[in-house]
Structure 1
Amino acid sequence: MSGIPHDAHPRVLALLRRYGWNATSFQVLEPGYSYWFDGEDACVAYVDTGGAWVVAGAPIAPEERLAEVAERFEAHAAASGRRLCFFATEQRMLEAAALRGLSIGEQPVWDPRRWEEGVRESRSLREQLRRARAKGVRIREVTPAELKDPGHPMRAGVDRLMERWLRSRRMAPMGFLVQLSPYAWAEERRSFVAERDGEVVAFLSAVPVYARNGWFVQHLMRDRKAPNGTAELLVDAVMRAAAEEGRSYLTLGLAPLAGAVAGWLRAARVVGTPLYDFEGLRSFKARLRPHAWDRIHLAWPARRSTPWPWPLYDALTAFARGSLARFGVATLLLRPLLLVWLLAVLLVPWTVLLALPANAPRFPSPLVQWGWVLFDVGLTVALFSLVRHWRKWLATLLASVITGDACLTLLEALLYNAPRARGPGDWLVMFVAVLAPATAAVLLFWARRHPTLEHV
């Protein structure tokens, strides 16, 4: 059956406690999921995007039933007119069921009982922990009662941290497996805060991975003003708590597009850096000396000739809460840094076109042509630098310089290009040449005052 019957969540939780093996399995209790039950011992949690059902991880079922449940759910999806894919599956699922897989990254894994050994062997990790403690950062575990009470001072402190953290993100809030829900099912979680001078400066929430006797660190939020080593101090706390309970498994979750991914995904990692710090996240997790890296996959039925772009599109749509277009517009409006990045990217082909010999007649002399080319090369480098590390003074400088660029371009167009224009093509080039820098200047002046970048 599908949908969300009144007793669905208790039933899913009972199955998770028996068969919740996938690292992200606990997250299917959060809002937005539909459930399909197969008998008394199996469940599939999925998101309906309209054109596809995107499953969160693997079916929650005994290992020996994974293939059967996946096949039956595949038939149910086909009968309902939906494509099907499984996001964040681990190797066990690919070996059990008839699925095709695409590696989408790696997930670091620790045995918490060996954490102390790793700390002793890593001088840099010990230094980070020492530095945070020396700056007055203190870690303590938060009780479910503190988190569930909206009026509790601790809950208010975490709320303020989340608000600051969300403002610092480069993309609009996402759904599916990355929605922010640190208070849901608080009794099942282990939560820790880092405090400094009475203020919450970082927060960690771990959820159980029942069938592996472990935890998954679902949320790790750090204020930009928190001292270096604060995040490491929180991880140290959760590792030690897990070790005290005899837990043998702990993961910080997926490092997207890390490890042995396809070449086009590596290219996407580079192109997507302004939206998501892929390398920084992977490096942070690697510095914590994981004991292993598990490969994570996007999978879809092998029996159907579905080309790989469809499962990828469907998974991204699930994260975008059902509409990539709406998510893209929201990200552009809320995250002006993306627009600055897009401006820098578009400037690259424009500069190449300016340098072509065929465009020499558009300039009063070769000296003027190459002056503009060199100017745009320098501007491109400066814009990419600004995207990598936002500095308000640099945004102001570039906006002023580009304003001058727009004025000079307009003057050149009126005095030199307009009298020599011979057709629609010449007028189009003039229009773009004048409009582009004017738009860019307005964008930069707007971005430098945008709330999400005020404290960057």
Structure 2
Amino acid sequence: MTGAILETDMALDAVRRYAEADNPSAYFAFNDGNSYFRLPDVPGLIVYRPVGGYLVQFGGPFAPFAPSGPAGARERLLRGFVAYAESQGRRIVSVQVQSGDAQLFVDHGFTVNQMGASYAVDLADFTLAGTRFMQLRNKIKRALRAGLVVEEVPYAEWAERVEKLDTAWLTTKGEGVKPLEFLVGQTGGRHQALRRLFVARRDEELVGYVSYAPVYGSRAGWMHDLSRRVPDAPPGVMEAVNKAAIDVFREEKERWLHFGFTPFTSLTAPQFPGHSRAFHWFMEYLWEHGAHIYPARTQLDYKLKWAPQVVLPEYVAFQGPASLPALVHVFRACNAV
């Protein structure tokens, strides 16, 4: 059994083929910079990044759910990955584990706790009509009255402007802050053609953008991924961009728009056997007091504006007991600390 760096298109193939886990963020698997583990006689792979004494795994194994049982591909991959980590003197922590993957980790001796949730809007009957959305509608109207034009554009023609905006946006986050990665998407790279870019512009000046990435599985559609705006952008820019994208997706008969994972939120899902009560308390504490670590409240407020009908719990799986150092390594893999 070996660990190997595979081409990201092999990861993309696995994500498309084995979407039964319904991980709405599965496209992170083919981001640049990931590492991959596979076994020569087993379909699928595991996505991870080595960080210090840990292998930080993304999601569960991207492999067939059947045949089930000890000989199943997912079981064999995880068992092999555990052995691979042990051979390196490292431990595993897996993040954004879905409900359908969680029991697999429990069966292999992991402590599994809810870490947050992701959110999705059913576009089939989506509307911003009614008093509930009055504030959102007004915010979008104000942004458009400021002279903005919102449209979908080819990334290649806007890449330099996107990069410039990213740099300006990052300076607003504080001195020395690095761009997040691993558990967020990217622009550019080998698979940019799979993503879609909607921008708000004033003449040819880029004021803000949202990048959307594909989602596979039973709730296939698009993920509202990276969003950026210039520091002096008028209020409502992101909302105007997202509403324009929704209009296009509905015209195309796309069913679902996902808003991605937010840690520390909606911590009410059923827990799995052997979960850590102390870790659950810590997640609740970070929801109340952890804005300096991650702006979960701000993110959730934006997502709830769109009245998501589906809330999907997401979990973290620790090899052995729940561990604060392991959690810190998750944030290190993301460039967050």
SS of the residue 2:11 aligns to = helix
1:243 maps onto 2:261 in alignment: no
Distance 1:225 1:108 in 2: 28
Report Cα offsets for 1:65-96 as digits up to 9, x if no partner: 43443233223222332201111112111144
Residues 26 and 255 of structure 1, relative CA distance in 2, 3 Å threshold = same
Q: Does the 8 Å CA contact 2:31/2:185 hold for their aligned counterparts?
A: no
C-alpha distance in 2 between matches for 1:316 and 1:221: 21
Q: How many residues align structurally?
A: 309
Counterpart pick for 1:272 among 281, 290, 311: 290
1:126 maps to: 137
**What is residue 83 of structure 1 aligned with on the other side?**
91
1:233 partner amino acid:
A
The letter for the 1-side match of 2:260 is: G
Question: Shift in Å at residue 110 of structure 1?
Answer: 1.2
Aligned partner of 2:36 in structure 1 is: 35
> Unpaired segments of 5 or more residues in structure 1?
147-153, 322-326, 328-456
Cα shift readout 1:89-116 (whole Å, capped 9, x = no counterpart): 121111444243222222111122232x
Residue segments in structure 2 that go unaligned for 5+ positions in a row:
67-72, 269-279
Using the aligned pairs only, state the percent identity.
23
One of 113, 121, 129 as aligned partner of 1:110 = 121
Counterpart amino acid of residue 224 in structure 1: P
Q: Residue 28 of structure 2 contacts residue 184 of structure 2 at CA under 8 Å; is this kept in 1?
A: no
Measured against aligned partners, the alpha-carbon deviations of 1:321-357 in whole angstroms (never above 9, x if no partner) come to 8xxxxx4xxxxxxxxxxxxxxxxxxxxxxxxxxxxxx
2:323, 2:129 → 1: CA distance?
Answer: 41
**Counterpart-to-counterpart distance in 2, 1:208 and 1:287:** 22
The answer to whether residue 225 in structure 2 is matched with residue 218 in structure 1 is yes
Equivalent residue for 1:188?
194
Relative contact order higher in (CA < 8 Å, ≥ 6 apart): 2
Q: Which residue of 2 aligns with 1:318?
A: 333
From the CA coordinates, give the structure whose radius of gyration is larger: 1
Q: What residue identity is the alignment partner of 1:300? A: F
CA shift in 2, pair 1:175/1:42, >3 Å: same
* Distance change >3 Å, CA 248–CA 78, structure 1 → 2: farther
Counterpart-to-counterpart distance in 1, 2:301 and 2:213: 23
CA, structure 1 residues 40+239, in 2 after alignment: closer, same or farther (shift >3 Å)?
Answer: farther
TM-score (norm 1): 0.62
Paired residues of 2:200 and 2:206 also in contact (CA < 8 A) = yes
Equivalent residue number for residue 158 of structure 1? 162
- Report how far residue 230 of structure 1 moved: 1.1
- Local SS of the residue matching 1:27: helix
Task: Give the counterpart letter for 2:147 in structure 1.
Answer: G
Distance in 1 separating the partners of 2:182 and 2:195: 16
1:177 alignment counterpart: 182
Q: In the superposition, relative to structure 1, how do residues 178 and 14 fare at CA in structure 2: closer, same or farther (>3 Å)?
A: closer
Instruction: Tell me the distance in 2 between the aligned counterparts of 1:103 and 1:252.
Output: 18
Q: What is residue 306 of structure 1 aligned with on the other side?
A: 321
Question: RMSD of the TM alignment (CA)?
Answer: 2.4
Q: How far 1:248 sits from its partner (Å)? A: 2.5
SS in structure 2 at match of 1:268: helix
Taking the aligned partners of 1:59 and 1:209, their CA distance within structure 2 comes to 17
Q: Greater helix percent: which structure?
A: 1
Tell me which residue corresponds to 1:290: 308
For residues 344-355 of structure 1, what are the structure 2 equivalents within 5 Å?
none
How many angstroms apart in 2 are the aligned matches of 1:255 and 1:182? 20
- Whole-Å separation in 2 of the counterparts to 1:191 and 1:67: 37
Q: Distance in 2 between matches of 1:169 and 1:222?
A: 12
Higher fraction of strand: 2
Q: CA–CA distance in 2 between the matches of 1:128 and 1:274? A: 27
Q: 1:268 to 1:155 in 2, by over 3 A?
A: same
